Amino acid sequence: MNTIKAWVNALEISGLIFLLPPYYNNLGKRLIKAPKLYFCDNGLVAALLNINSLEALENSAHLGNIWENFVFTEFIKEGFISGKNVFYFRDQNGVEIDFIIEKDGKIFLVEAKNSERLNPKKLNFQKIGPLFKEPVSSVVACGVEEKGIVALKEFSIYNPLFGFIFKD
């Protein structure tokens, strides 16, 4: 176990990976407290998975994970800091939100879904949002063709390929 921790630490220090800690600030639930691992370079992820074309990416069983990794690296590029203002949430029952972002006293719950067609029943905004005292905005980072934020009934959607939504 110490060898694994040493290697993970070496990868983090060398800038190859980020560890994203969970958000468990006074939520009063039994939460998973292990960090999630993200690669800093999406090209490296594709190379490690032997994905060398758009077709291979679209057919990959890892497409969802690669998209989530991409969304996370976009947050880092915009100056968010893992463990300071970007986290994830998962409880012991498997209820999860990919990212929790704290910005200007607001909480953003962000799900990364590579699909344009979203099934609201598979999103956990309604389960996790009420745990917060602060105002919560629910957002899905997905592959929609529209630029900017598209407000839907229960949440908003945006495509991180077109820019960042948390700007002032």
Confidence band, pLDDT 50/70/90 cuts, at residue 117:
confident
User: What is the chain's mean pLDDT, rounded?
Assistant: 88
Mean pLDDT for the stretch of residues 115-142:
87
Architecture of domain 2-162: 3-Layer(aba) Sandwich (3.40)
pLDDT (tens digit, 9 = 90+) per residue, 48-101?
A: 999 999 999 999 999 999 999 999 999 999 899 998 999 999 888 888 999 999
Highest mean pLDDT among 19-28, 35-44, 111-120, 148-157: 35-44
Nearest to 17 by CA among 30, 32, 5, 31: 5
- Dist. CA 120–CA 144, nearest whole Å: 15
* One-letter identity of residue 46: A
- Dist. CA 1–CA 87, nearest whole Å: 24
The edge-to-edge listing of strands for the beta sheet with 86-90 is 86-90, 96-103, 106-112, 136-141, 156-158, 150-151
pLDDT (tens digit, 9 = 90+) per residue, 27-54?
A: 656 667 789 999 999 999 999 999 999 9
State residue 27's pLDDT score.
62
State residue 67's pLDDT score.
95
Query: In the 3-class helix/strand/coil scheme, how is the chain assigned residue by residue?
Result: CHHHHHHHHHHHHCCCEEEECECCCCCCCCECCCCEEEECCHHHHHHHCCCCCHHHHHCCCCHHHHHHHHHHHHHHHCCCCECCCEEEEEECCCCEEEEEEEECCEEEEEEECCCCCCCHHHCCHHHHHHHCCCCEEEEEECCCCCCCCEECCCCEEECHHHCCCCCC
